[in-house]
Amino acid sequence: KLLASELAQPDGVRALPGTVLDEPLGIACGVGAVRLVRLQKAGGKPLSVEDFLRGTPLPPGTVIA
């Protein structure tokens, strides 16, 4: 579950939507990109993106659904 995000790049992103662009977890969108800030895995507690990435690495170039 996505609990918090912020606008990372309003335009100029050249990647398929859902592509991890950089750390800490910038994600390409149809237009621009968002940076994920706080996440929660199913059945888990809310985590900062840094804590989430310690247990679930998502290197740049990974495509998420």
Residues of the chain above pLDDT 90, percent: 74
Residue with tokens 């994920």: 36
What is the value of pTM for the model shown? 0.81
What integer pLDDT is reported at residue 13 of this predicted model?
84
Note down pLDDT in tens along the chain; length 65 residues.
Answer: 999 999 987 777 889 999 999 878 899 998 889 999 999 999 999 999 999 999 999 999 999 97
Torsion of CA 52, 2, 26, 49, to 10 degrees: -20
Tens digits of per-residue pLDDT, 11-29? 778 899 999 998 788 999 9
CA distance 65 to 63: 7
The dihedral through the CA atoms of 17, 22, 62, 45 has a sign that is negative
| Domain spans in the chain, listed from the N-terminal domain onward | 2-55
